[in-house]
A and B are shown apart, each in its own frame.
Chain A
């Protein structure tokens, strides 16, 4: 485990922002940290990044309790981000890298590497305030990874980026992950969660309400929905034990009692004359799971 959060509580005045949250982030994973606005995600991230300390509970980074050296192993790009506007790009990166424990020499080397990689070699003397927002975001991303953190925490990393730059950063994140860096990825964009994450946790009202591997969670929430697409007219008289949920012109969706029935359903279709062009299990989207689970826990809280 790169990160282990154990029974963590954080209270502001009388407001309990994080209420007994536990979770483990496996080494090398891309871990989605999800939750509605005000759920306690930022409070949790601030504790992981040592900005604040938990009132109760323990947070361990790579098996070690968080300490003064921990920030050097963590790279954090907050959602509310910014840079010193009047500083030059190079100076800014050098400063932030040195604060993360790099020597001047190491920092310059790392900055050169990334500037070449992002094709912005000649940006060193430019002032931050003279850059476009998207460009600033690139600099911000570089600043976050210059010191090669073991754990990278990205809070909505793609907001404000155009599709080209989004892909560029996405590719970088993948490459970093492949090189062994674990990533915590906080976002509201569920399609990005499905695309990038292998593990997730869903926080609502300061509590961990859903947690595990992405594929396992999808299985857990599946409703045995199967969709059949045909060429030509849909056949009639399919046996009643397959409950029809919806029907279109060339496609029909059934709900099965048990996933083992899927072959029977396909057989029933194969016995007809109609040619089957597609047969698939419909897994719930994370959007649905997210909404469902948040609503459930909101009701639990209301009761």
Chain B
């Protein structure tokens, strides 16, 4: 095994075995798991036991309503309201729902009365309202001899479809901008977070070796550049491991939990666009978002995420490695060196969150997505809005070039700094180190 791969292996394994890493990696999916359990538990929770509701319907508008979500609808038959109230008192049933006849067919608002000892829970109250409204609608249609099919044909849905006038095929819809923002935002946040977190991990690890004094022993076995690169690559792999673990575990949780909990995904009929559209499922929107998401160029987005992560990570991790090597045992003293390495990243984050979402193609955004200290965070955000390919090409070339340059520069600072003790280091000093020989 080469020395570099030995170093990478050690750096990787010691981190991955750490309790804090395992905890951090498991915490996100476990958090999701708990969240889902709570949500499912709450939806499953019927607000108490099943209630029996007798429907007293003088006008015979309502036929049988199927039992649902803890509400059992029972037709009143020949019983009178007074008799039913008595049954409520004797706890044979939970409530009586009296549906008065309609004054005329134009009446829109209609009030029904519920007699009970216990208050009706809000979710059950909503459900009953919707079901009764549905039945009244059917009754009206029947009475007016309207054809349900024809009525449905009268309904129209309108959405703006932005078209490019350049004649190129455009597949945008009214959801494109929103989806772009969401996808771009998530990408940007993930990159910002990962680069900062793992970059600083490299810095701490460099400082630790220096204060531990192991570094001189290491230097007599391996080249300083190998040690630095081993550290950067090892920590980077830990970062990728964590992201992959998060994605896989969260995916598993969100698939397995509903299965185990017996929570039905929406029944197949409703997905196929069943005639009876449930008002609580904004299904059309859901489908459109799904199709919009699937229309995103995922291979390109994933590819650019990885490239920009690697580019950005190498740029910032090498800066942090150089800073770490120059710092002594005292973290406080080194703060002056740390902020210049953090600032551009934070600035890029601000540019996107302040200006980016309003107009992803503004001049500032174009500049920020090409400037290599910003672009690893900014360009992945813009990727969701189909930026011109030449801007992407320039941006990528600059990120890769800058990453190589920064790694080289950091290597030159690192090899001097790592063996330097008891000296407060300034930027001027760092500059001088660049030109030291051997």
Chain B, range 215-229, C-beta contacts under 8 Å to A: 215-222, 224
B419 part of interface (Cβ distance < 8 Å): yes
Given A55-B438, A86-B14, A98-B6 contact (CB < 8 Å): yes
Task: Decide if B437 is an interface residue (CB 8 Å cutoff).
Answer: yes
User: Given the complex, which residues of B lie within 8 Å of A80, measured CB to CB?
Assistant: 213, 216, 421
Q: Are B220 and A51 in contact (CB under 8 A)?
A: yes
Question: Which candidate, A70-78, A202-210, A230-238, A279-287, is the interface stretch facing chain B?
Answer: A70-78
Interchain CA distance A87-B212 in the complex, whole Å: 12
The reply to whether the CB of B295 lies closer than 8 angstroms to some CB of chain A is no
Q: Are A51 and B216 closer than 8 Å at their CB atoms?
A: yes
Chain A residues in 8 Å Cβ range of B14: 84, 86-87
> Closest residue of chain A to B213, judged by CB?
A82
B130 is an interface residue with CB less than 8 A from chain A: no
Interface check A214, CB cutoff 8 A = no
Contact for B220 among A12, A13, A53, A76, CB less than 8 A: A76
B390 at the interface (CB under 8 A from A): no
Does B432 have its Cβ within 8 Å of any Cβ on chain A?
yes
Question: B1-40 vs A: 1/0 string, CB under 8 Å?
Answer: 1010011001000100000000000000000000000000
Chain A residues whose CB sits within 8 angstroms of the CB of B219 once the complex forms: 46, 49, 51
| Chain A nearest CB, measured from B82 CB (Å) | 80
- Residue total for A at the interface (Cβ-Cβ under 8 A): 30
Flag whether B165 is at the interface (Cβ < 8 A).
no
Q: Is A81 an interface residue (CB 8 A)?
A: yes
Q: Does B160 contact A (CB under 8 A)?
A: no
**A83: B residues at CB distance < 8 A:** 212, 214, 217
- A148 CA / B191 CA spacing, docked (Å): 46
Q: Are A50 and B213 in contact (CB under 8 A)?
A: no
Kindly report which residue of chain A lies nearest to residue B429, judged by CB atoms: A13
Q: Is A118 an interface residue (CB 8 A)?
A: no
Q: Is the CB of B438 within 8 A of A100?
A: no
- In angstroms, Cα B215 to Cα A218, docked, is 38
Q: Are A49 and B1 touching (Cβ within 8 A)?
A: no
A96 at the binding interface (Cβ < 8 Å): yes
Is B436 interfacial (CB 8 A cutoff)? yes
Contact B438 A99 (CB under 8 A): no
Bound Cα distance from A183 to B419, whole angstroms: 24
**A207–B217 alpha-carbon span in the complex (Å):** 25
> Known contacts A95-B6, A95-B10, A98-B6: does B1 contact A76 (CB below 8 Å)?
no
Contact B217 A96 (CB under 8 A): yes
Instruction: Give how many B residues have a beta carbon under 8 Å from the other chain's beta carbons.
Output: 24
Q: Say if the beta carbon of A215 comes within 8 Å of chain B.
A: no
**Does A261 have its Cβ within 8 Å of any Cβ on chain B?**
no
How many contacting A-B pairs (Cβ < 8 A)? 68
Among B212, B216, B222, the residue within 8 A (CB) of A78 is B216
Given contacts A51-B419, A54-B438, is CB(A85)–CB(B212) below 8 Å?
yes
- A81 and B437 contact, Cβ closer than 8 Å, known pairs A98-B1, A99-B6: no
Query: Which residues of A lie under 8 Å from residue B7 when comparing CB positions?
Result: 99
Contact A71 B212 (CB under 8 A): no
Q: Which of B3, B214, B436 has the most CB of A within 10 A?
A: B214
Find the A residue at minimum CB distance from B437. A55
Mark interface residues in B197-222 (1 if CB within 8 Å of A CB, else 0): 00000000000000011111111111
Interface string of B408-438 (1 = CB under 8 A from A): 0000000000010100000000001000111
Report B-chain residues with C-beta under 8 Å of the C-beta of A250: none
Other-chain residue from A46, A52, A98, A143 in contact with B217 (beta carbon distance below 8 A): A143
B219 to A, closest residue via Cβ: A51
Q: Is the CB of A81 within 8 A of B216?
A: yes
Beta-carbon contact of A100 and B221 below 8 Å: yes
Interface pair A84/B212, CB less than 8 Å apart: yes
Q: How far is the CA of A50 from the CA of B221 in the complex (A)?
A: 9
Decide yes or no: A81 and B213 within 8 Å by CB, A54-B438, A98-B6, A99-B6 being known contacts: yes
Known A51-B216, A83-B214; contact A96-B221, beta-carbon cutoff 8 A: yes
Asked whether A99 lies within 8 Å of B436 as measured between CB atoms, the reply is no
Residue-wise, chain B 384-428 has the 8 Å CB interface mask toward A (1 for contact) of: 000000000000000000000000000000000001010000000
Per the bound structure, the CA–CA distance linking A46 and B215 in Å amounts to 12
Of the candidates B1, B219, B224, the one having the most CB atoms from chain A within 10 angstroms of its own CB is B219
Say whether A82 contacts B217, CB under 8 Å: yes
**Closest residue of A by beta carbon distance from B222:** A99
Query: Which residue of chain A is the closest to B210 with respect to CB atoms?
Result: A82
Contacts of B432 in A (CB 8 A): 13
Q: Which residues 114-159 of A sit at the B interface, judged by CB distance below 8 A?
A: 140, 143
Provide the residues of chain B in CB contact with A46, threshold 8 Å.
Answer: 219, 419
Shortest distance between the CB of B5 and any CB in chain A (Å): 10
Name, among A46, A50, A95, A99, the residue most crowded by chain B CB atoms within 10 Å (CB to CB). Answer: A99
By beta carbon, the residue of chain A nearest B214 is: A82
Q: Are B436 and A12 in touch, CB under 8 angstroms?
A: yes
| CB-defined contacts of A98 to chain B, threshold 8 Å | 1, 6
Residues of A within 8 A of B (CB): 12-13, 46, 49-55, 71, 74, 76-78, 80-87, 95-96, 98-100, 140, 143
Binding site for A on B (CB under 8 A): 1, 3, 6-7, 10, 14, 212-222, 224, 419, 421, 432, 436-438
Closest 5 CB pairs of A and B: A53-B438, A82-B213, A76-B220, A99-B221, A78-B216
A/B interface sample: 14 pairs, CB < 8 A = A13-B436, A51-B224, A51-B419, A52-B438, A71-B220, A76-B217, A78-B213, A78-B216, A84-B212, A86-B14, A98-B6, A99-B3, A140-B217, A143-B217
